[in-house]
């Protein structure tokens, strides 16, 4: 009787944990699908109707790779037809997808910071080298953990088959540490540029101030959300039972996808506002001598004038959009 009661209790506890994982994956998938629907009109206008660029390619990759992950994860968590080999490949897919989704979103954010720093090669080199180091460290942890991982399709009830992982390293939480460190660097660069820009009364960004505000705001907001997400994953992997380790993973993919998409769409939306003339009249170009140099301004009726320095700064901000 005692052994029967213990078995029933174990099955009930396992089903409870499985339901928690399923609900969390449904919630994270719903975030991706909802964001896709509410921004579909912006996607058509700012992505599909624009020429191909690095920003467009990254947006499409970020957007639709995450949608594919929703489909695969839903099948892996709810299908009644699972095999041992599928379960092992499913966990490998989940692990590498978490890393790839984070990488894509971080590349998008680096592009924006590169533009914010007026295409400064030193800043690009700093971000690029730290990105490679952080990604390599996280990938090494992921590869080590997945190489020792085994998985089994366990039929808890006739209609409930669930993939259960085994041999998960207790040190897997280290996967999140390089990502947290790199996000902190990117946030620091955004905050420094924001402080530097607003401190200077002669900033060349004054006519494109809204675009700069968007870049800084999105960079800091992205950091706050992703830092909290990665930290939550780290703490769960340290403190929670093995049965619940999958609960927060879907949110790291979903939020990195959504935030990466919004960074691109927000910048392109502001670009459109800056490029839209407030009058149907054509702009005129005037030149004059100043301290022995020729300078030009573009005069658009109804708009503030932009000097050649300002135009160069705005072009650098739009170069990677």
User: CB of 151 within 8 A of CB of 91?
Assistant: yes
Structure tokens at 283: 């702009």
pLDDT at 255: 92
CA angle 244, 249, 255 (to 5 degrees): 140
3-state secondary structure of 51: coil
Domain 2-280 adopts which CATH fold? Rhopdopsin 7-helix transmembrane proteins (1.20.1070)
In the predicted model, what is the mean pLDDT of the chain?
A: 79
Q: What is the pLDDT of residues 157-176, one digit of tens each?
A: 777 788 888 888 888 889 99
The CA-based dihedral angle spanning residues 18, 23, 28, 29, taken in that order and rounded to the nearest 10 degrees: 100
- pLDDT under 50 in the chain at which residues? 201, 203-207, 277-317, 319
Q: What is the pLDDT of residue 185?
A: 93
Three-state DSSP at 145 gives helix
Tens-place pLDDT, residues 88-133? 999 999 899 989 999 999 999 898 888 888 888 999 999 999 999 9
Which residues 6+ apart lie within 8 Å of 57 measured at CB?
none
Q: What is the pLDDT of residue 275?
A: 60
Q: Say what the pLDDT of residue 292 is.
A: 41
* Per-residue model confidence (pLDDT) at position 3: 53
Kindly compute the dihedral angle of the four CA atoms of residues 214, 218, 224, 230, in this order, to the nearest 10 degrees: -170
**Residue 44 per-residue DSSP state:** I
């Amino acid at each position: 009787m005692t052994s029967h009661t213990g078995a029933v209790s174990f099955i009930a506890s396992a089903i409870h944990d499985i339901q928690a994982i399923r609900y969390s994956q449904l919630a994270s998938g719903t975030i991706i699908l909802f964001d896709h629907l509410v921004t579909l009109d912006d996607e058509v206008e700012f992505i599909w109707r624009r020429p191909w660029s690095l920003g467009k390619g990254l947006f499409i990759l970020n957007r639709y790779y995450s949608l594919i992950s929703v489909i695969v994860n839903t099948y892996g968590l709810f299908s009644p037809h699972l095999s041992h080999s599928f379960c092992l490949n499913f966990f490998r897919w989940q692990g590498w997808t978490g890393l790839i989704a984070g990488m894509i979103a971080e590349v998008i954010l680096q592009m924006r910071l590169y533009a914010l720093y007026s295409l400064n090669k030193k800043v690009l080199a700093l971000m690029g080298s730290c990105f490679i180091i952080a990604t390599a460290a996280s990938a090494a942890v992921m590869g080590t953990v997945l190489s020792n991982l085994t998985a089994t399709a366990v039929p808890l009830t006739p209609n409930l088959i669930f993939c259960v992982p085994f041999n998960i390293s207790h040190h897997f939480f280290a996967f999140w540490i390089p990502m947290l460190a790199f996000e902190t660097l990117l946030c620091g660069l955004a905050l420094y540029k924001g402080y530097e820009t607003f401190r200077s009364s002669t900033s060349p960004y004054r006519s494109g101030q809204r675009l700069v505000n968007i870049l800084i705001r999105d960079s800091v907001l992205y950091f706050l959300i992703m830092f909290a997400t990665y930290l939550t994953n780290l703490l769960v992997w340290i403190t929670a039972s093995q049965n619940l380790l999958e609960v927060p993973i879907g949110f790291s993919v979903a939020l990195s996808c959504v935030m990466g998409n919004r960074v691109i769409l927000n910048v392109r939306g502001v670009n459109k506002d800056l490029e839209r003339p407030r009058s149907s009249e054509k702009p005129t170009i005037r030149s004059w001598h100043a301290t022995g140099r020729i300078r030009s301004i573009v005069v658009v009726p109804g708009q503030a004038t932009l000097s050649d320095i300002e135009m160069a700064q705005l072009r650098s901000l739009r170069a990677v959009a």
